[in-house]
Amino acid sequence: MKTVILQSHTENALTPWLRGCLSSVEAWAARVGADYCFLGDELFSHIPRWVQEKVSPQTVIATDLARLRLMQHALRDGYDRVVWLDADMLIFAPERFQLPDGTHAVGREAWVQQTHGSLKAYKKVHNAFLMTTTDDTFLPFYADAAERMLTRAQPPLVPQFIGPKLLTALHNMTELCVEERAGMLSPLALRAVLNGGGKAYEMTLEGHKVPPAAFNLSASYCGRASDGVCNTDADYAAVIEKLMAS
């Protein structure tokens, strides 16, 4: 099956640890025999200009739609299977990260945070990992629905408006195919990994049916306080080193 792996990020904003994440994905793409394509801001050429203008300054919303249109474009270009991974997605166990059977897949989110003084894990799905194929009927529906929602919505919009929020709602109604090995670390879970383990990381792992082989590291929280922790660039780099050695 002819496959391409897609990623994108503003190039002048790539930190060393983000480049490490990208390298892990590019190496994995070679391992599974897939083509690899990295885009900068030209990603946004795949969506109408009004989308960027309407959602500004929440560019993540524009990115959420642009990735879907880019994936559709890749299918039209002749690929049988297209995979999107966010730039802050780290594949730390490439030997276990196999693409699932089926026509589509989304990632698994087990988000651990403080709620009323105790840790709680919120089990959802995410779009930091997306897979589609030529036989997929979900991605066209999802992309068109997301754009229609943006047409009707009035700012300000939450960053997850057409991303994890919409995906999780659709999953709860239709039970999407979830790639359990493509997980996500909350700030508390990332700090737990940094400290060699802990309850937040354990709860994250418990939210997956199989052990994760890749994590989205939630770059938007880098340098930003959340749940009493503030993980720095150095912390992210150290976590990557620990995960790659695990």
Model confidence pLDDT, tens digit, residues 173-203: 999 999 999 999 999 999 999 999 999 999 9
Confidence of residue 133 (pLDDT cuts 50, 70, 90): very high
Confidence of residue 243 (pLDDT cuts 50, 70, 90): very high
Instruction: Give the mean pLDDT of 137-143.
Output: 98
Asked whether 206 and 112 are in contact (CB, 8 A), the reply is no
Instruction: Give the mean pLDDT of 134-155.
Output: 97
* pLDDT value, residue 63: 98
Rounded to whole angstroms, what are the CA distances from 23 to 13, 28, 52, 137? 16, 8, 28, 31
How many alpha carbons fall within 13 Å on the CB side of residue 191?
Answer: 19
User: What's the total number of domains in the chain?
Assistant: 1
Confidence of residue 164 (pLDDT cuts 50, 70, 90): very high
* pLDDT value, residue 195: 98
CA-nearest of 7, 179, 6, 207 to 98 is 179
Q: What is the pLDDT of residues 32-60, one digit of tens each?
A: 999 999 999 999 999 999 999 999 889 99
d(CA 212, CA 93): 8
* pLDDT value, residue 209: 98
* pLDDT value, residue 200: 99
* pLDDT value, residue 202: 99
Q: How far apart are the first and last CA of the chain?
A: 31
* pLDDT value, residue 66: 98
Assign residue 112 the CATH number of its domain. 3.90.550
Instruction: Give the mean pLDDT of 120-147.
Output: 98
Give the angle subtended at the CA of 68 by the CAs of 57 and 94, to the nearest 5°.
105
Residue 113 structural domain: 3-245
The two three-digit tokens of residue 146, written as one number: 């997301």
The two three-digit tokens of residue 158, written as one number: 């939450």
Q: What is the pLDDT of residues 55-92, one digit of tens each?
A: 988 999 999 999 999 999 999 999 999 999 999 999 99
d(CA 189, CA 217): 10
Q: Residue 214 pairs with which residues in a beta bridge?
A: 91, 182
* pLDDT value, residue 27: 99
